[in-house]
Amino acid sequence: MGSLRVVAFSALFLLLLVDLEAALIGEKQWTTYKRQFNKTYAPEHDYYHRWIFSAVDKLVRKNNIEYAQGKVAYFLKVNEYSDTDRSAVYANPPSMPAESIQGTGSKPANYKYYHEIQGGIDWRESGFVSPVRHQGECNSCWAFSTAGLLETHMAKKTGRRVAMSPKHLLDCVEKNGGCDGGWVSHAINYTRDNGISSWESYSPYKPQNDVCVYNPRGNQVLPRGYVILEPNEKKMAEVVYNIGPVTVSLDHLYTEFYEYSRGILSIPDCRNGKGFLKHSMLVVGFGTDPEGRDYWLIKNSFGEKWGENGYVRLARNAGNMCGVASLPQYPVF
């Protein structure tokens, strides 16, 4: 009886191995992918990454069939992230600071309310938005979104755009976790008290934690705090239109996000609770496509080869998609 059980178990195990092997992409495709994105793995790790890539590739193909059929509004493409495990890389960030200006802050003259806004806005057209950067293998999205936020609002105030240094924030904001993540709120408070270096004046960006080497300089336009908006997409659109870009945090650990290539992204399974928001980005505008679909225009820090030249259009007025309106922030000067 025992031998029969062993035989049955062995047969089942072999069937599982056959199914698993059948699910893997071919050796030629795997080799081509690794060569394209300069990937090398020790033999004991190669199979694991190939298995991840195989599952992602299958989902990408399935999505793009649905895109061609008009069932989804976004197209996916395999990229440098397609063989990586996203679930284990985000440590718990430090606690968020309590002090902030709540609501929408003071309204500028000629403030337009949501029903008065026609066609949306794209702050890139103002010349105040710097080029898309790449954070590399470091959870420094908070530093990139903060630097992008401050440089756009400083440029709006002074009429001159100066690219700000996420590396300065990464090294020097002690209340954040460096490459283990952090909050925009802590970073803005740091710049309030210490200032921020330009991209050119601080050490070149490296995706790692280094010793802070900042020497404060005077004559900077510095924020005196920040505003956290109410979780309301229409109020958020008013602020983006009238005041300027805002940082947001998303629940983003999905193939649809990482392999996003173009179109208006919508992830039905993503969540909007603050505990799920792991990735900080910069909303630089919003609009509506020719098919009548509303979207947020969001700058990422995955480089220009990701998405639409480094940007994603995320579904707007779609039930706070992925938490886009759960934690919007902007600086007050």
Please indicate, yes or no, if residue 94 is contained in any of the structural domains: no
Write down the catalytic residue from 49, 79, 138, 141: 141
Please indicate, yes or no, if residue 95 is contained in any of the structural domains: no
Please indicate, yes or no, if residue 41 is contained in any of the structural domains: yes
| Whether 246 and 304 share a structural domain | yes
Using the 3D structure, point to which of 35, 57, 72 is the last residue of a domain: 72
How many angstroms separate the first and last alpha carbons of the chain? 79
Tell whether the model's pLDDT for residue 98 goes beyond 80.
no
Write down the catalytic residue from 79, 139, 272, 300: 300
Please indicate, yes or no, if residue 213 is contained in any of the structural domains: yes
| Whether 280 and 183 share a structural domain | yes
Residue 134: active-site member: no
The model's pLDDT over 4-62, given as tens digits with 9 standing for 90+, comes to 343 333 333 333 333 445 479 999 999 999 999 999 999 999 999 999 999 999 999 99
| Whether 166 and 312 share a structural domain | yes
The model's pLDDT over 183-238, given as tens digits with 9 standing for 90+, comes to 999 999 999 999 999 999 997 999 999 999 998 776 677 898 899 999 999 999 99
| Whether 263 and 214 share a structural domain | yes
Q: In Å, what is the CA distance from 162 to each residue of 146, 148, 256, 285?
A: 14, 10, 33, 20
| Whether 275 and 150 share a structural domain | yes
- Amino acid symbol at 5: R
Please indicate, yes or no, if residue 90 is contained in any of the structural domains: no
Please indicate, yes or no, if residue 222 is contained in any of the structural domains: yes
| Whether 301 and 183 share a structural domain | yes
| Whether 171 and 283 share a structural domain | yes
Write down the catalytic residue from 49, 189, 279, 322: 279
| Whether 51 and 109 share a structural domain | no
Q: Which helix (H) or strand (E) holds 60?
A: helix 43-68
| Whether 269 and 217 share a structural domain | yes
The model's pLDDT over 103-151, given as tens digits with 9 standing for 90+, comes to 556 788 899 999 999 999 999 999 999 999 999 999 999 999 999 999 9
Using the 3D structure, point to which of 55, 72, 89 is the last residue of a domain: 72
**DSSP, res 302:** B
Residue 300: active-site member: yes
| Whether 165 and 108 share a structural domain | yes
| Whether 202 and 64 share a structural domain | no
The model's pLDDT over 259-270, given as tens digits with 9 standing for 90+, comes to 999 999 999 999
Quick one: pLDDT at residue 60?
A: 98
The CATH number covering residue 188 comes to 3.90.70.10
**Number of structural domains found in the chain:** 2
Residue 279: active-site member: yes
Please indicate, yes or no, if residue 85 is contained in any of the structural domains: no
Strand segments, DSSP code E, in the chain are 74-76, 101-102, 121-122, 225-228, 246-250, 260-265, 279-288, 294-299, 311-315, 329-332
Please indicate, yes or no, if residue 272 is contained in any of the structural domains: yes
Please, what is the average pLDDT of the chain?
89
| Whether 43 and 168 share a structural domain | no
pTM of this prediction? Answer: 0.91
Range of the domain at 50: 2-72
